[in-house]
Structure 1
C-alpha cells in the first residue's frame, strides 16, 4: 500500500455530485476490502467506481432509490489520507483538476 502524502506540490481536485442518494464517511483505519466486491480503479486507487458492492446492496435494501433510478445507481469510493467516503448516485461526478 502506498501512503497518501499531503504537501504544497500535490495535485488538488474538486469532485462534485449534482445529486446523490447516500454517502458514508469512515475512518480509513477500519475499512475492510471484500473479495466479492467488483470495482474499476484497483484496490488501492484513490478514487474508484464499484459495479458490485455491499454498500450498494445496503442502499438497494434500505431505500426505494432503485425504484426511482432502476439500474442506474452507481457506487463511488474516495480513499483519502484519514477517511474513506462512499457515494451512491445516479449521475457521474464532475471532476475538476485545480
Structure 2
C-alpha cells in the first residue's frame, strides 16, 4: 500500500468511532472523516464534547464535525503485537520518529517500536519485521505494531460505521 497516496490521507480530521477485537488478537478500528463546520446549532452530527456549547470554547475556534457527506473507514489488522490508545490532549510528538503519512502514519523508527522491543520478545525473526502504524484522530491517537499492514476499506453506509454518539 502506498501510504502517502491512500484516500484516507485526504481527510482533514478523523474521529474514532469504535475500536474492538472481532476475534482474539485481531484489531478493527472505525474512523469517521470530519471537517470544519460553521453551521450554527447542528444536531445529529458526530462532534467532540465541546459541541454541547453554543459557542466555541476558544475565540475564533471552529467546530469539527462528521457530517453525512463525509466518509467512514474501517482499518483491520488480522494480527498485532501491541496497540495503545492515547488521549490526544496528553500526546506528545516524537521528534526522533521517522514516519510517512498525515492521519495514517507508518513509522520506521519510534519510541513505541522501542517500547515493544523492550517489553516483548517479538522481533524481525519472529513473528517477522515489525511496523508501527499510527492513526491520528481528534481526541485519540492509536498506535499499532504489527507484522502486516492494515486492510483499509471505505464504508459506504453510515450504519456500517456505527455512527459516533453525541
TM-score range, shorter chain: 0.7 to 0.9
Residue ranges of structure 2 left out of the alignment (5+ in a row)? 1-11, 15-33, 35-65, 156-166
**RMSD between aligned alpha carbons?**
1.4
| Number of residue pairs matched by the alignment | 93
Structure scoring higher RCO (CA < 8 A, sep ≥ 6) equals 1
Q: Secondary structure at the match of 1:59?
A: helix
Find runs of 4+ consecutive structure 1 residues off by over 2 angstroms: 2-5
Q: Partners of 1:24 and 1:3 in 2: how far apart?
A: 20
> Where in structure 1 are there 5+ consecutive unaligned residues?
none
TM-score computed with the length of structure 2 as normaliser: 0.53
| TM-score of the superposed pair, with normalisation by structure 1 | 0.87
Matches within 5 A, 1:1-98: 4=14, 5=34, 6-41=66-101, 45-66=102-123, 67-70=125-128, 72-98=129-155
